[in-house]
């Protein structure tokens, strides 16, 4: 008799009801509950699923490139990014009647299409893509990359290639490889792409597979690099009159620290971003040597967490930040839910920061003038941030209930949090209730007085702290007259700004009313 689905649970496989199917789908990814699961096997399965996840991501990215190349208007859009609407894909729906067909036949298309508000056209344009052929090439490359990851996932499930539990729990080795290899080398590769492909394309010089090996990104070549005269790479940047994707007003610099925005595209300077990624690469490749592995150099994380020495040599403390961290290394390293909780919280916070910075300091050409795309991307990333942080709470709770060992964490920060949980939860509760009720009541009051024809009775509370942050960075609308919004302040007059080295482009851009940079905030933004 053939084994019934699911193979991972004999109890479910023998269930005569449809519960067998629904429960199996629900617990398919809950590896910990599967029959015969060991700790080592659990780590191996999770590791293999990461390759499958990466393959799905690359397949998804490949599909975007493919559908735009096939059904989009990328080559038309790049000729006039401000006025032509970018097409995501065609709509083939047999239920569309004549009115729907006419309504969705837009953006110069001859059939119904969807407009894209994802910003991918702006991204591809900024990184140097110019033709549908290049989009197709990128799609095929990502498809092959996905196949490689699927193979890698399968390979690491074979007995000969399954990593051991000790390999998974070697935190220092993993950190070094991820810091140097994942973040460092990938940032270096991206800086290389920006310097060798994106910046020349932004200056009207095509660089492709046919000529990238014999097209130097800088007239001086590698001579300044080997002679230590690195400042040459920052000389002669693009002028304020540079027309993006043409040689008009273009310079030769490849690594700059201009600050501000490109006046035409109102996005960050590509040469600044290349410099940023190169710097990140250097920092992370150095950081990849920070933790002690087989070579006797670097730090032991366990020793650092257990240490009671203070910041000043010879002084004593309870631990990092003068708080006891003893026992945390093993607690963290032996609980997947603790790890997942911390990682989800960190990634969720970073995603929320991405949402903010994507519109306040847009990196992609002309995207700051596309309000719908900016609003969509902001909402998208804040939603993802919310889901990730929710996951952090869920897995953190599983850790507390199931994995936390009171003996191992005696007297450290985890025990302190646990001992104060009533005070922490009650304070968070009343703060949330206070803010929620008062915000809602404020808006209800304002709606009522407007409805009764007395709008002057509204209670309009300005978000002064957020406005102060914007004013400090140079937004003059609020009249707060502080730091960069005050031309007499030290922020204006100190070196290097006394010569207006970078301020004009920055101040013009964030005070312009025709882009998403530093959107004006007011009473309605408390929601």
Give the residues across from 5 on adjacent strands: none
How many structural domains is the chain composed of? 5
Could you tell me if 516 and 482 lie in one domain? yes
Could you tell me if 219 and 275 lie in one domain? yes
Could you tell me if 433 and 493 lie in one domain? no
- Among the residues of 253-370, which ranges form H helices? 270-287, 301-306, 328-333, 336-360
C-alpha to C-alpha distance for 455 and 476, rounded to whole angstroms: 27
**Which pLDDT score is estimated for 450?**
97
SS3 label, residue 115 = strand
User: CB neighbours of 463 closer than 8 A, spacing ≥ 6?
Assistant: 521, 522, 523, 525, 526
Could you tell me if 431 and 388 lie in one domain? no
H/E run at residue 10: helix 10-13
Q: Which of 527, 2, 47, 510 is nearest to 266 (CA)?
A: 510
Could you tell me if 87 and 193 lie in one domain? no
112 within 8 A of 90, measured Cβ to Cβ: yes
Between the alpha carbon of residue 514 and those of residues 115, 218, 265, 269, 475, the distances in Å are: 21, 34, 12, 18, 14
C-alpha to C-alpha distance for 191 and 54, rounded to whole angstroms: 22
Report the predicted TM-score, pTM, of the whole model to 2 decimal places: 0.90
Q: Which two tokens stand for residue 497?
A: 């700004």
* φ, ψ (nearest 5 deg) of residue 471: -65, -40
C-alpha to C-alpha distance for 524 and 521, rounded to whole angstroms: 8
The DSSP call for residue 255 is S
Q: Which of 435, 433, 413, 437 is nearest to 425 (CA)?
A: 433
385 within 8 A of 397, measured Cβ to Cβ: no
Q: 237 — alpha (psi -120 to 50), left (phi > 0) or beta?
A: beta
C-alpha to C-alpha distance for 167 and 164, rounded to whole angstroms: 5
Directed axis angle between helix 39-71 and helix 132-155, to 10°?
A: 160
Could you tell me if 175 and 92 lie in one domain? no
Q: Which two tokens stand for residue 491?
A: 């922020």
Give the residues across from 261 on adjacent strands: 268
305 in a structural domain? no
Could you tell me if 392 and 431 lie in one domain? no
**Which pLDDT score is estimated for 2?**
58
150 within 8 A of 253, measured Cβ to Cβ: no
C-alpha to C-alpha distance for 110 and 73, rounded to whole angstroms: 12
- Around Cβ 18, how many Cβ atoms within 10 Å? 8
Could you tell me if 375 and 477 lie in one domain? no
User: CB neighbours of 93 closer than 8 A, spacing ≥ 6?
Assistant: 100, 112
Expressed in angstroms, the distance from the first to the final Cα of the chain is 60
339 within 8 A of 488, measured Cβ to Cβ: no
SS3 label, residue 400 = helix
Residue 199: domain span: 170-299
User: CB neighbours of 327 closer than 8 A, spacing ≥ 6?
Assistant: 305, 306, 408, 409, 410, 412
Instruction: List per-residue pLDDT tens for the chain, 527 residues long.
Output: 456 899 999 999 999 999 999 999 999 999 999 999 999 999 999 999 999 999 999 999 999 999 999 999 999 999 999 999 999 999 999 999 999 999 999 988 999 999 999 999 999 999 999 999 999 999 999 999 999 999 999 999 999 999 999 999 999 999 999 999 999 999 999 999 999 999 999 999 999 988 999 999 999 999 999 999 999 999 999 999 999 999 999 999 999 988 889 999 999 999 999 999 999 999 999 999 999 988 888 999 999 999 988 888 888 888 888 889 999 999 999 999 999 999 999 999 999 999 999 998 999 999 999 999 999 999 999 999 999 999 999 999 999 999 999 999 999 999 999 999 999 999 999 999 999 999 899 999 999 999 999 999 999 999 999 999 999 998 999 999 998 888 888 777 776 655 555 666 788 888 988 888 888 888 888 76
**Which pLDDT score is estimated for 1?**
47
Instruction: Count the residues in the chain.
Output: 527
C-alpha to C-alpha distance for 425 and 366, rounded to whole angstroms: 45
Spell 220-253 as b/e; 16+ CB within 10 A means b. Answer: eeeebeeeeeeebbbeebbeeebbbbeeeebbbb
C-alpha to C-alpha distance for 191 and 275, rounded to whole angstroms: 7
443 in a structural domain? yes
The DSSP call for residue 317 is -
**Which pLDDT score is estimated for 466?**
92
73 in a structural domain? yes
- Domain closes at, from 299, 325, 348: 299
329 in a structural domain? no
Could you tell me if 175 and 279 lie in one domain? yes
Could you tell me if 370 and 431 lie in one domain? no
Give the residues across from 309 on adjacent strands: 316
Q: What is the largest CA-CA distance in the chain?
A: 86
C-alpha to C-alpha distance for 22 and 176, rounded to whole angstroms: 42
26 in a structural domain? no
C-alpha to C-alpha distance for 284 and 354, rounded to whole angstroms: 20
11 in a structural domain? no
Could you tell me if 384 and 279 lie in one domain? no
325 in a structural domain? no
Could you tell me if 446 and 378 lie in one domain? no
22 in a structural domain? no
**Which pLDDT score is estimated for 332?**
96
């Amino acid at each position: 008799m053939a084994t019934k689905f699911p193979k991972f649970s004999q109890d479910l496989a023998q269930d005569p009801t449809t519960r067998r199917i629904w429960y199996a789908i629900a617990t398919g990814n809950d590896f910990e509950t599967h029959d015969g699961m060991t700790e080592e096997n659990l780590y191996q399965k999770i590791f293999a699923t990461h390759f499958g996840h990466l393959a799905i991501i690359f397949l998804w990215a490949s599909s975007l490139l493919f559908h735009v190349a096939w059904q989009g208007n990328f080559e038309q859009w790049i000729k006039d990014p401000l006025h032509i609407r970018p097409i995501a894909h065609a709509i083939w729906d047999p239920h569309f009647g004549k009115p729907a067909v006419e309504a969705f036949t837009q953006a110069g298309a001859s059939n119904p299409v969807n407009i894209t508000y994802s910003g991918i056209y702006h991204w591809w344009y900024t990184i140097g893509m110019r033709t549908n052929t290049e989009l197709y090439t990128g799609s095929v490359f990502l498809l092959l990359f996905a196949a490689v990851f699927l193979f890698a996932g399968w390979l690491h499930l074979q007995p000969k290639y399954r990593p051991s539990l000790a390999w998974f729990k070697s935190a220092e080795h993993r950190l070094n490889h991820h810091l140097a290899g994942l973040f460092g080398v990938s940032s270096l590769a991206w800086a290389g792409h920006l310097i060798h492909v994106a910046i020349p394309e932004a200056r009207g010089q095509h660089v492709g597979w046919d000529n990238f090996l014999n097209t130097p990104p800088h007239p001086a070549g590698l001579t300044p690099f080997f002679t230590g005269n690195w400042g040459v790479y920052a000389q002669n940047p693009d002028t304020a009159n540079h027309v993006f994707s043409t040689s008009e007003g273009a310079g030769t610099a490849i690594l700059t620290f201009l600050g501000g925005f490109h006046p035409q595209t109102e996005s960050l300077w590509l040469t600044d971003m290349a410099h940023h990624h190169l710097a990140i690469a250097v920092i992370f490749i150095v950081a990849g040597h920070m933790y002690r592995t087989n070579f006797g150099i670097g730090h032991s994380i366990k020793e650092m967490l257990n240490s009671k020495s203070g910041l000043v040599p010879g002084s004593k403390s309870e631990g990092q930040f003068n708080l006891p961290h003893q026992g945390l290394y093993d607690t963290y390293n032996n609980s997947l839910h603790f790890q997942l909780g911390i990682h989800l919280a960190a990634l969720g916070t970073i995603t929320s920061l991405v949402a903010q910075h994507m519109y306040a300091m847009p990196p992609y050409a002309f995207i700051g003038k596309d309000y719908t795309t900016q609003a969509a991307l902001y909402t998208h990333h804040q939603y993802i941030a919310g889901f990730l942080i929710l996951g952090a709470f869920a897995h953190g709770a599983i850790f507390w209930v199931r994995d936390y060992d009171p003996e191992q964490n005696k007297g450290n920060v985890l025990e302190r949090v646990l001992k104060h949980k009533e005070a922490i939860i009650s304070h968070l509760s009343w703060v949330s209730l206070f803010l929620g009720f008062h915000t809602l009541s404020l808006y209800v009051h304002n709606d009522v007085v407007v409805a009764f024809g007395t709008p002057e009775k509204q209670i309009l509370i300005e978000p002064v702290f957020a406005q102060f942050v914007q004013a400090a960075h140079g937004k003059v609308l609020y009249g707060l007259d502080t730091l960069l919004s005050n031309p007499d302040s030290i922020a204006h007059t100190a070196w290097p700004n006394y010569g207006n080295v970078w301020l004009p482009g920055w101040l013009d851009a964030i005070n312009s009313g025709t882009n998403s940079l530093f959107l004006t905030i007011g009473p309605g933004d408390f929601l």
